Amino acid sequence: MGEDRAARLTAARTSLESGDRERALAEVTAALDIDPSFLAAIALRDRIMGGESIAPSGVRVPPAASLAANMSAPTSARPLVSVDGYAKFEQRARRRRVDRKIDAARTAIAHGKLREAAAAIGEIAELDPNLPELTALTSAFQAARRNRRQRHFGPWLAAAAVFGVLVLSASWLQDSHLLLSHPLNAITGLVETRAPEPIVTATIDSATIEAKPAAPVGTAGVGDRDVAPVAAERPTPPVIDAPTEPPPLVRIPPPQPRPAPPMAEPEPSPAPQPPPVVAASIPQRQPAQASELRGPANSPVASAVSASAVSTIGNDEGDVKQALQRYRSAYEGLDARRARAVWPAVNEAALARAFDGLSSQTLTFDACDVQLRGEAALATCHGSARYVPKVGSREPRVEPRTWSFTLRKTGPDWKIESARAER
């Protein structure tokens, strides 16, 4: 690039010496296109534009004549570069540098690089203190500095906000975790073992069976001595386990046992210890017959209690099934008000909107299993649902369903607390 630039400059000088200014200007322009900062080419272009000419270098002046000319006119030699051209060149170079620094300062301010922006503004102030853009750049720099100071508080505020959110979230999670235990107690209350039907039994823990006194047992070696009769041991009556909360029992007073005959005291004698009593000589006590235990249960009072308990269970089961039939009838009639009468907890408005989307509906309960829990009941019904929607196909749709109900007795009637249908 340097040789081409020098060749262009030489061609421009040659053309200018020969008087061809247009070609000389073209060659200088080509040299400046190669290197815009080529000072010799810039100076030559200024001379060409100023109308100056260069003496031909091909004319040889004799040494003596040249020496005489130099001695006679020492002030006739002109400088290579004019003062005005150099001043203009310096001014243009300064302006270009100022423009580059202005662009650099604006870019640094836009990207938040305040140190680079400050250095660029300082250099601009040294090159041209009276530049109009210097005031605008200084104002923009000050505004960027203020914004950066204010931004320092942003991370702290964000950190404080995040910390507060974490604390509130932790407390909320802890409270909600504690609240989850309350429904568990309610659910476990519904899963109770089924209470057995009331059974009227006779109280035999205090009754004793009269035992006859056993005959005297003789021992070997003692024939003339009175032997006291041995009373048969009375076995402990069996203990009948009763439920935790048994129904009222009808107690029958046991018969009074007969007093045992007094035992004869043997005469004191230093007799040896008697051998073991022969087990075969002790009469075995016969177990009580089942008819004896069932005898008190057949009393009129016990029969009445048992009949009333069975009647109550049968009536409650029938009432539960009647409540389920009212539920089915309300759903088949698409009547949300009747459904709410048997199921008070249902959302009547939402159920009415659901019924509005159906033309007809039929529920079929093939089998229902009812489990009574005192004042509560669980019912599971298996069947199918047949319905025709208002929008879409008019063909009836039949789907198998399983309904699970939870009911509670309110006064004489049974109401549905919750209902769930599954396919």
Average of pLDDT values for 64-75? 46
pLDDT of res. 173: 65
pLDDT of res. 311: 53
Average of pLDDT values for 273-287? 44
The token pair at 300 is 């009129």
Total residues found in the chain within this entry? 423
Higher-pLDDT residue of 337, 21: 337
Considering only CA atoms, which of 245, 247, 172, 249 is closest in space to residue 204? 249
Question: Does the structure show a pLDDT above 50 at 365?
Answer: yes
**Alpha-carbon distance 204 to 326, whole Å?**
48
- Of all residues in the chain, what percent carry a pLDDT higher than 90? 21
User: What class, spelled out in words, does domain 310-422 have in CATH?
Assistant: alpha beta
pLDDT of res. 229: 41
Are 45 and 28 contacting, i.e. CB atoms less than 8 angstroms apart? Answer: yes
Higher-pLDDT residue of 314, 420: 420
Highest mean pLDDT among 20-29, 260-269, 281-290, 309-318: 20-29
pLDDT of res. 174: 57
Residue 384: pLDDT band (50, 70, 90) is very high
**Alpha-carbon distance 329 to 318, whole Å?**
16
Handedness of CA 14, 18, 24, 28 (dihedral sign): positive
Q: What is the pTM of this model?
A: 0.30
| Phi–psi pair at 149, nearest 5 degrees | -65, -40
Residue 313: pLDDT band (50, 70, 90) is low
pLDDT of res. 231: 42
**Alpha-carbon distance 220 to 224, whole Å?**
11
> Which residues, other chains included, contact 367 with Cβ-Cβ below 8 Å and sequence gap of 6+?
381, 382, 383
**Alpha-carbon distance 123 to 143, whole Å?**
20
> Which residues, other chains included, contact 372 with Cβ-Cβ below 8 Å and sequence gap of 6+?
194, 313, 316, 317, 320
Question: Does the structure show a pLDDT above 50 at 243?
Answer: no
The residue ranges of every structural domain in the chain are 2-55+80-146, 310-422
Question: Does the structure show a pLDDT above 90 at 379?
Answer: yes
Of the candidate ranges 38-52, 71-85, 253-267, the one whose mean pLDDT is the lowest: 253-267
Q: What fold, for 2-55+80-146?
A: 1.25.40
Output the average pLDDT for the chain. 70
Question: Does the structure show a pLDDT above 60 at 266?
Answer: no
Higher-pLDDT residue of 2, 236: 2
**Alpha-carbon distance 299 to 250, whole Å?**
9
**How many beta carbons lie within 10 A of that of residue 334, not counting itself?**
19
pLDDT of res. 253: 52
DSSP H or E run through 315? helix 300-332
Higher-pLDDT residue of 201, 92: 92
pLDDT of res. 296: 43
Question: Does the structure show a pLDDT above 70 at 9?
Answer: yes
301-306-311 Cα angle (round to 5): 125
Question: Does the structure show a pLDDT above 80 at 50?
Answer: no
- Of all residues in the chain, what percent carry a pLDDT higher than 70? 57
Question: Does the structure show a pLDDT above 90 at 331?
Answer: yes
| DSSP code per residue over 173-187 | HHHHHHHTHHHHHHH
The contacts found for 55-62 with CB under 8 angstroms, 24 or more apart, are: 55/17, 56/17, 56/18, 57/17, 58/17
Confirm whether 2-55+80-146 and 310-422 share one CATH topology.
no
**Alpha-carbon distance 106 to 339, whole Å?**
76
Of the candidate ranges 113-122, 186-195, 399-408, the one whose mean pLDDT is the lowest: 186-195
Residue 343: pLDDT band (50, 70, 90) is very high
Residue 154: pLDDT band (50, 70, 90) is low
pLDDT of res. 416: 94
**Alpha-carbon distance 410 to 345, whole Å?**
14
Of the candidate ranges 91-100, 225-234, 360-369, 370-379, the one whose mean pLDDT is the lowest: 225-234
Average of pLDDT values for 243-257? 51
pLDDT of res. 167: 79
